[in-house]
Amino acid sequence: MNSFKDIDISIVVPLYNEEAVFDKLIQRIKSVINDTKFSCEVILVNDGSYDTTDTLIQKICKEDIRFTGVLLSRNHGHQLAVSAGLQYVRGKKGAMIIDGDLQDPPELVNQFYDLLLTGYDVIYAVRKNRKESFIKKLAYSSYYRLQKKVSNFNIPIDSGDFSMLSRRVVDTMNIMPEQSRYLRGMRAWVGYKQIAYEYDRDERHAGETKYSWTKLFELAFNGIFNFSDFPVKIITRLGFLTVIFSLIYFSYNIYRKIYYNDVPQGFSATILAIILFSGVQLISLGLIGEYVLRIYNQVRNRPLFIVDSVIQEGKEISK
Ligand code: UDP
Ligand code: MG
């Protein structure tokens, strides 16, 4: 059996009330890791389930030392459950993140690992098709496109958390202390060489989705606000547009007044005051927003930059 030093890849699986799929999941994972050319550990994170998932995790961890259980004190949400799992990764080469409902085939660990060996730091799975309801598909696809438009850097479209990360990416994500976590954004933010891997997303093996619409919206908000200055910038822009509009309106009214004298007394002054000062207020809000943004960036405390490698005295020093 493998000891701590031998582990190449850790497979992180968040589980929230997944007793219905648990046995099948373990069976699938076991048959994969029994045959890999590299050694794997599996980190099962219990995200405060109220069914028997925690007992099942404890049982398998006692039976098979390749399984590690991280049992959270209560339900923290998918992103935090995965983040907790990543803290316990012992794999020297890195980690793979999969969902516990078998929507992400664990068999792909082999293909992902090959890509890791060829020098990619992040291999992220992209869904070729979605087997979800029409409304959900539409919501996902418009959301990802909006996110791509507004985010400060490129977050790939249609990729979830299913991915393999090199050791250095895991280490970097582990020292990013941000509270509201959007892992697929953080993963893209880290940089290095990243590659998409297209796959067919299976249907959930059993049980129901654990993502309520509220949780989905929360995730979506994190995706926009953690990686985009756009919502703040738009306030200032809107303010300037309003001021410009009020000036045009003002000039037009003066023109009507002089040449046609058909503007009621006091009307334009009132409207102008309302529009102009709304604009001024929007600009002021935008300015305050800029400061808030800076405070946010400072307290979020992400690393300033991440160095891939340094060439010194003619030699490349890997980080
Ligand atoms: N999950 C979790 N905590 C939660 C919600 C979900 O750990 O609060 C886990 C869940 O058990 C599953 C994975 O996250 O392994 C993805 O959840 P789900 O399949 O319900 O999401 P969907 O695929 O419907 O987006
Ligand atoms: Mg699922």
Most ligand 1 atoms within 8 A of CB, residue of 56, 57, 211, 218 to mutate:
211
Candidates 167, 168, 166, 186; CA nearest to 176 is 186
Q: Are the C-beta atoms of residues 97 and 82 closer than 8 Å to each other?
A: yes
The residue nearest atom 1 of ligand 1, judged by CA position, is 78
Reported pTM: 0.84
From first to last of its 319 residues, the chain has per-residue pLDDT tens of 455 668 999 999 999 999 999 999 999 999 999 999 999 999 999 999 999 999 999 999 999 999 999 999 999 999 999 999 999 999 999 999 999 999 899 999 999 999 999 999 999 999 887 777 788 888 888 888 888 888 877 788 778 899 999 999 999 999 999 989 999 999 999 999 999 999 888 777 888 888 888 888 888 888 888 888 888 999 999 999 999 999 998 888 888 888 988 878 887 788 888 989 999 999 999 999 999 999 998 998 899 898 888 898 888 887 5
Superfamily of domain 8-209+303-318: Spore Coat Polysaccharide Biosynthesis Protein SpsA; Chain A (3.90.550.10)
The residues pairing with 309 across neighbouring beta strands, listed in sequence order, are 318
Centre of ligand 1 to C-alpha 210, Å, is: 5
In 3-state terms, what secondary structure has residue 3? Answer: coil
Which atom of ligand 1 is nearest to 77's Cα? 8
Q: In ligand 1, which atom is closest to the CA atom of 82?
A: 7
Of all protein residues, whose CA lies closest to atom 25 belonging to ligand 1? Answer: 211
In the chain, where are the structural domains located? 8-209+303-318, 230-299
| Residues framing ligand 1 (Cβ under 6 A) | 14-16, 18, 47, 75, 77-78, 81, 99-101, 103, 204, 209-211
Q: What is the ipTM of this complex?
A: 0.96
- How large is the angle between the packed helices 267-300 and 230-259, nearest 10 degrees? 170
The whole-angstrom separation of Cα 121 and Cα 172 is 12
